[in-house]
Amino acid sequence: MAILQLEDGKVYTDLKDISRELASLNIQLDYWSVGEDPQLHELLAKDSLNEDEKEQVLVALDQYFNELQQTAGYQSRDLIVLHPEIPNLDGLLAKFDKIHTHADDEVRYIVAGEGIFGFVRPDGSQVELTVQPQEYINVPAGTEHWFYLTPERRVKAVRYFTNTEGWVPEYTGTPIHRRQAVA
């Protein structure tokens, strides 16, 4: 279940409350089941996956990709697998832990682990959203945001693209007010 924390410390866990708080940003948040396939659950439980295993996960979840292709013109998808044993994990994450925007929507389906998206709202306030397994998020192009991992430092996420060129971070220089403390 997603967790939204406001700057004043108020926390929301109900999807309707979270959607209301994020409405000014047009962020889409939804629950997408990974289903009951034991083979898929076995793969999702592993720390790292080879390319064949990543493709198995993607194929098992392609009903969502097919829907996005039809409804929103998405052209490709991949699976990113992050965990503490990845060489230079901090360097990889450093690209996204400062406030930035993208020229294209940032679309993620978290299938294991969790990550935190921070957002700058139109009034300048900032919120942080912990996105957890089986949650889909679409951050519209041009939205000021940042991303980092929770203390477990593990996430598996399907990334969907209309094209990958629009997904380069464009840093805004806006400072982050504070990061939430995640239990």
Residue 44 CA to residue 114 CA, distance in Å, equals: 13
**pLDDT tens, 91-147?**
999 999 999 999 999 999 999 999 999 999 999 999 999 999 999 999 999 999 999
User: Biggest alpha carbon distance in the chain?
Assistant: 46
pLDDT at 179: 63
Q: Which domains does the chain have, with CATH numbers?
A: 3-166 (2.60.120.10)
